[in-house]
Amino acid sequence: MALSISTTSTTALITILLLLSGGSSTMASNESINIPKFDIDQLEFALNLEYLEAEFFSWGAFGVGLDSLAPNLTMGGPPPIGVMKANLSSFVRDIIAQFAFQEFGHLRAIKSRVKGFPRPQMDLSAVAFATVMNNAFEMHLVPPFDPYANDINYLLASYVIPYVGLTGYVGTIPKLQSPTSERLVAGLLGVESGQDAVIRTLLFQRALSKVTPYSFTVAEFTSKISKLRNDLGKRGLKDEGVIVPLVQGAEGRIAGNVLVGDQNSLSFDRTPEEILRIVYGSGEENKPGLFYPKGADGRIARSYL
Ligand SMILES: *[C@@H]1O[C@H](CO)[C@@H](O)[C@H](O)[C@H]1NC(C)=O
Ligand SMILES: *[C@@H]1O[C@H](CO)[C@@H](O)[C@H](O)[C@H]1NC(C)=O
Ligand SMILES: *[C@@H]1O[C@H](CO)[C@@H](O)[C@H](O)[C@H]1NC(C)=O
């Protein structure tokens, strides 16, 4: 008797599993049907930084952006202000071109799962990046920092962005409710952290070089930018330059800091609020500015405006 009940329930379970797997594959054509509202908001929030990276890398490498290379991904949002082609060596240009296409894929991947929103107004002008550097050094650099001038300046400007996305994804994953969105964000995190590692490695290689015409080294620029992000985020130390005091390095035993991590070398996390405080440059999630003069889009960012 016991045996037959268990056989019956096993059969029923297998039937249910078959139905479920059949059901989910027929729904794969519109996966957002499976995605809870909470997850949709988190995924849409990510679009803000992905749009920014797509445009900055695409323009930097090719001198054109989404409007020329993937117009459907803009959903009609306005082109970014002040972005331009960077004066890059062929080696760095090739890397940035790869990053650009990776970001196009990220935008498409997110939008294949959630409706999303048009490209928000972004300011990627030299002035915006010069402002970041002035705020980081708490002084006016003369001449103003030009992100597009050469490899090293462009890599320093690039240092400003993917890491913020990375910490956001680390913060998002444990809060997500559906495996579909967890898988997506894990995939985004993997490549964003790879981009961050490449940028940091190229900067680490030049860590002790001066960033001409200034008297500061590459390592000093990274430390100042990281400190600024820590200050704006207002949640303690989550950001470190490529050379740190020994105590901040891996195991508290090494000054080289090609990857950022906590005491156990695990990635730091940030909330959408912390990210907005940083990318707005204002330290306030309800005060847009800097890279998003009209604010970021999606339900989370809009809820603060
Ligand atoms: C998928 O469904 C969502 C929610 O009903 C809808 O907003 C979205 O436009 C659909 N996407 C596609 C590609 O059909
Ligand atoms: C872009 O959108 C247009 C109009 O909706 C559509 O006809 C075209 O196939 C799309 N192209 C791509 C590459 O998705
Ligand atoms: C472009 O970068 C190279 C190498 O750093 C530099 O020598 C050159 O002056 C730069 N050109 C312009 C127009 O800034």
C-alpha span between 95 and 123 (Å, rounded) = 23
- Give whole-number Cα distances, 204 to 7, 33, 156, 273, in Å: 62, 44, 11, 29
Burial state string for 267-290 with b = 16 or more CB within 10 A and e = fewer than 16? bbbbbbbbbbbbbbbeeebeebbb
Residue that the structure tokens 């405006």 belong to: 305
Confidence of residue 15 (pLDDT cuts 50, 70, 90): very low
Calculate what percentage of the chain has a pLDDT beyond 70. 89
Query: What is the C-alpha to C-alpha distance for residues 243 and 129, in angstroms, rounded to an integer?
Result: 22
Residue 31: pLDDT band by 50, 70, 90 thresholds?
A: low
- CB contact at 8 A, 114 and 44: yes
Task: Please name the residue whose Cα sits nearest to atom 5 of ligand 1.
Answer: 33
- Tell me which of 26, 32, 44 to substitute to probe ligand 1's pocket, judged by most ligand atoms within 8 Å of the beta carbon: 32
Yes or no: say if 134 and 140 are a contact pair by the CB < 8 Å rule: yes
pLDDT tens digits for range 97-150:
999 999 999 999 999 999 999 999 999 999 999 999 999 999 999 999 999 999
Prediction pTM value: 0.86
Q: What is the pLDDT of residues 158-173, one digit of tens each?
A: 999 889 999 999 999 9
Question: What tens digit of pLDDT does each residue of 57-70 get?
Answer: 999 999 999 999 99
Per-domain residue ranges of the chain: 33-302
> Which tokens in the block code for residue 29?
């054509």
Closest residue by Cα to atom 2, ligand 3, is 150
Whether the per-residue pLDDT at 2 is higher than 60: the answer is: no
Residue 127's identity, in one-letter code, is V
Tell me, using a 6 A CB cutoff, whether residue 24 lines ligand 1. no
Give the nearest ligand 1 atom to 112 CA: 13
Closest-lying ligand 3 atom to the alpha carbon of residue 151: 5
CB of 226 within 8 A of CB of 84? no
Q: 289: which strand partners? A: 292
Residue 72 CA to ligand 2 centre (angstroms): 6
